[in-house]
């Protein structure tokens, strides 16, 4: 369903749509990563949260999926903005991570949810951090998965991963699927390899639902421009869980360590063999610390 949030249209899936009784449950708001759609949350992950007694809300971030695309803002010059970032100059982004956090809170507003557990992966973890910084009264708990504080000194992607991330897919559905299969093989979890037919099925479903690479480029510049978040994480008061894969080649585990270090009282969990994906084996290990964390911090 569509909701109007923070001045734009956002596509939302809410477990309370299928079962009205879920509206009385504690809410978990799931925020997906760079260029990814709400369907990237594996069904088994969502169902486990529902089975644990939560109302699960997920949505397409602005500029991707079925949410509003902001093509009128233009396509950033990623090479130029990367050079600016590398020499410490300000990155020019069409919108900010804080804007995306306001979108997330706008989704809660549209659904009449006063406060929620905020769970984000990768870019979604950065947005979740911004929600916890800017809207502390709306946050039951924060969970930041395979994400980063955004501090400048942190290590970046391995060269082969960066090359795969920035490569442009050829034209045509099959070529697009092939591109994303190569990308996820590069960033995936060596300890929990995903069967290629399963990966292809996921990428095909995503491509057919929506393919909008310009939106991902705008999101990418928003990430690079958010240089102040690291110093602001000390303001987070929500109970916080930080989870990171020890084999993450896109956002190295040092980024998770740094995030946890900056948030007072946070709990840091590493997962050996986990890269930068939500493979079935990874999901199982994420849920082990996540569900107790959520259950421990419910309140009316």
Task: Give residue 66's pLDDT.
Answer: 98
CB within 8 Å of 280: residues ≥ 6 apart: 42, 44, 192, 194
Mean pLDDT on 162-175: 84
Mean pLDDT on 32-47: 97
CA–CA gap between residue 238 and residue 259 (Å, rounded): 14
- The tens digit of pLDDT for each residue in 210-266 reads 999 999 999 999 999 999 999 999 999 999 999 999 999 999 999 999 999 999 999
Listed by start position, the domains of the chain span 2-155+213-296
Task: Give residue 165's pLDDT.
Answer: 81
pLDDT value at 287 more than 50:
yes
Q: Which of 236, 44, 48, 34 is nearest to 147 (CA)?
A: 34
pLDDT value at 291 more than 60:
yes
Q: Indicate the helix (H) or strand (E) that contains 100.
A: helix 97-111
Q: CB of 133 within 8 A of CB of 229?
A: yes
CATH superfamily membership of 2-155+213-296: Alpha/Beta hydrolase fold, catalytic domain (3.40.50.1820)
Q: Which of 217, 255, 218 is nearest to 233 (CA)?
A: 255
pLDDT value at 170 more than 80:
no
DSSP character at residue 75? -
Mean pLDDT on 1-24: 97
Q: Could you identify the residue written with the tokens 């928003």?
A: 222
């Amino acid at each position: 369903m569509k909701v109007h949030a923070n001045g734009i249209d956002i596509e939302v899936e809410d477990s309370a749509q299928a079962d009205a009784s879920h509206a009385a449950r504690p809410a978990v708001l799931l925020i997906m990563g760079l260029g990814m759609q709400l369907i990237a949350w594996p069904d088994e992950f969502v169902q486990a949260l529902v089975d644990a007694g939560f109302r699960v809300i997920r949505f397409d971030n602005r500029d991707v999926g079925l949410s509003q695309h902001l093509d009128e803002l233009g396509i950033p010059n990623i090479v130029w903005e990367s050079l600016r970032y590398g020499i410490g100059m300000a990155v020019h982004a069409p919108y900010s991570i804080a804007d995306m956090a306001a979108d997330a809170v706008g989704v809660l507003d549209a659904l009449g949810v006063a406060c929620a557990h905020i769970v984000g992966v990768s870019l979604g973890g950065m947005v979740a951090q911004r929600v916890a910084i800017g809207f502390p009264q709306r946050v039951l708990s924060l969970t930041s998965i395979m994400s980063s504080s955004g501090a400048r000194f942190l290590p970046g992607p391995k060269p082969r991963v960066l090359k795969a991330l920035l490569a442009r897919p050829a034209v045509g559905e099959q070529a697009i699927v092939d591109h994303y299969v190569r990308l996820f093989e590069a960033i995936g979890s060596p300890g929990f390899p995903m069967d290629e037919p399963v990966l292809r099925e996921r990428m095909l479903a995503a491509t057919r639902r929506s393919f909008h690479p310009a939106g991902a480029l705008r999101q990418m510049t928003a990430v690079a421009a958010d240089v102040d978040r690291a110093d602001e994480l000390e303001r987070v008061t929500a109970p916080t869980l930080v989870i990171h894969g020890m084999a993450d080649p896109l956002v190295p585990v040092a980024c998770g360590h740094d995030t946890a270090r900056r948030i007072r009282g946070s709990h840091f969990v590493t997962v050996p063999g986990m890269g930068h994906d939500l493979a079935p084996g990874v999901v199982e290990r994420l849920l082990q610390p996540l569900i107790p964390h959520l259950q421990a911090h419910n309140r009316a």
